[in-house]
Structure 1
Amino acid sequence: MPAETLTNQVILVAGGTGGVGEEIVRFLLGAGATVAVPSRSDANLQRLRDYCADAGPGQLHTLQQEMNTPDGADNVRAWLRERTGGRLDAVVAALNGRFYGKPFHTLAWAEWQDFLANYLTAHFLTARTFLPLLEKQGGGRYLMINGGAADAVYPGAVELSVAASAQLAMTKGMALETAGSGVQVSSLVIYSRVATRHEAATYPGQVTSQQVAEHVAALLTSSDYNPRHVVHALHLTPASSLA
């Protein structure tokens, strides 16, 4: 993918301080994009700034602000308008949270509420806040990063399957609802535990955060888009590719 295709593009990465998100941010900066990243944790933002200090020609803007409340999302929108003059070319939603790893029916109420806030409500608020900006300016890309748990249910991971299924439904529904607006909504589904700089690969062919970042950039620059076929897969093989 030619790096110049992302040069000067303004891209919001929600979840950009996570193990996968930070690699996406670093790759986009290396391709010349202007990348905006909000996070509730200033320590995580500082870690991201340190990691991306030598990433390349792009510009990184960070804001300490949570995104899982309406007020928080609105604050990020106002900040982004101030920093970019209202321009937004793409949104990458790489959002997740704590995984409890126990039988679904034993989740505490507080755990369930926390899970919903991070895996579903944050996605809803990100779309509710930023899809209208893309529509208003006549186009842009909106990409959700999802896991393969939607296709398989495992003991101790039922809530992940619930979230993954709901996220896929969000992607497909928003793609149809925005068809004709110029906005391209899609999802990258990762069928593997992702190896990051914080968590090394534990089995052959494991997908890496660098591979995820490369596929994200490819989707953000692809000219092949169909609002009825918006789910793309990254599989557990050394030769994994977009499907």
Structure 2
Amino acid sequence: MDESKRVAIVTGGGSGLGRSICEHLARDHRVGVLDLDGDAAEQVAGELRSAGAEAVSAAVDVSDQSAIADSFAKVRAELGPLGVLVTSAGIGGFTPFEKITLAEWERYLAVNLTGTFLSVQAALPDMVERRWGRIVTISSAAGQVGALRQGHYSASKGGVIAMTKTVALEYARKGITANTLPPFTADTPMLRAAQEAKHVPGAEMMSRIIPAGRVGTGDEIAAVCAFLCSDAASYITGQVVAVNGGAVV
């Protein structure tokens, strides 16, 4: 085990943006890949190990506090105490506001907001003890400016932004930073599924909306995430760091 490398946990690491983040962090970290889909998490961890990185996987529903505790304990046991947390696990969808059921509303909050809360809370003891930590939450532009037919999603991601700022304020003097990345669009399976279902514009129309003239990539967001998780970002905390091609300014 390379003790010079810190341990990072990425929730939602089995696919999409979370996968890209795992790949970037694995260059300088030992990585715990957590996902609701345990097979997908293990596939990513296996690929990282094949590339020479140290990685383990665990299946977890981030809305389940005991499952969070068990999966974090597994990573600690196999890789060591945590130094970095990236919360990429989340769900998204489209429902007109008046048709959002209470069950649907509560599920979005449970996964996107409570899941982030539980993950951050579980990671903090290791960081506080060592007086060093990096927390990056994945929020959304929908949490900054709202989004049609995404009242539940927007509310949950807006909550993630506010919570991240609070964590930053409370733990800054303990050597811990907390920042959030709010993607507008990125070429991920989630975006492609939404486009196929006609919930959002296709790539050509989306490129016209975005000032940069194109949809972003998971790698572009993951690269900024990796920087925020590094020693070089020690004086950046409580920030909403948008990697969106100018779509939200």
TM-score, with length taken from structure 2 = 0.82
Relative distance call for 1:46 and 1:77 in structure 2 (3 A) is closer
Match for residue 195 of structure 1? 187
Pick one of 30, 51, 54 that aligns with 1:34.
30
Within 5 Å, give how 1:77-226 maps onto structure 2: 77-85=72-80, 87-97=81-91, 99-190=92-183, 192-196=184-188, 202=203, 203=207, 204-221=213-230, 222-226=232-236
CA distance in 1, matches of 2:175, 2:105: 36
Paired AA for residue 81 in structure 1: R
- Structure 1: gaps (5+ residues): 1-6
Relative distance call for 1:234 and 1:182 in structure 2 (3 A) is same
Pick one of 9, 12, 20 that aligns with 2:9.
12
Paired AA for residue 131 in structure 2: G
Paired AA for residue 45 in structure 1: A
- Superposed displacement of residue 199, structure 1: 5.7
- Structure 2: gaps (5+ residues): 193-201, 208-212
CA distance in 2, matches of 1:83, 1:168: 31
Runs of 4+ in 1 over 6 A off after TM superposition: none
Please tell me whether the aligned partners of residues 149 and 161 of structure 1 are also in contact (alpha carbons under 8 angstroms).
Answer: yes
Paired AA for residue 172 in structure 2: A
- Superposed displacement of residue 50, structure 1: 5.7
| Aligned sequence identity (%) | 22
RMSD: 2.5
Please tell me whether the aligned partners of residues 131 and 142 of structure 1 are also in contact (alpha carbons under 8 angstroms).
Answer: no
Please tell me whether the aligned partners of residues 104 and 156 of structure 1 are also in contact (alpha carbons under 8 angstroms).
Answer: yes
CA distance in 2, matches of 1:51, 1:81: 20
Match for residue 54 of structure 2? 59
Paired AA for residue 243 in structure 2: L
SS at match of 2:178: strand
Relative distance call for 1:8 and 1:224 in structure 2 (3 A) is closer
CA distance in 2, matches of 1:219, 1:181: 17
- Superposed displacement of residue 225, structure 1: 1.6
Relative distance call for 1:108 and 1:28 in structure 2 (3 A) is same
Which string of whole-angstrom CA distances, capped at 9 and with x for unpartnered residues, describes residues 63-90 of structure 1? Answer: 12322211111112221221124x2121
- Superposed displacement of residue 224, structure 1: 4.8
Match for residue 3 of structure 1? none
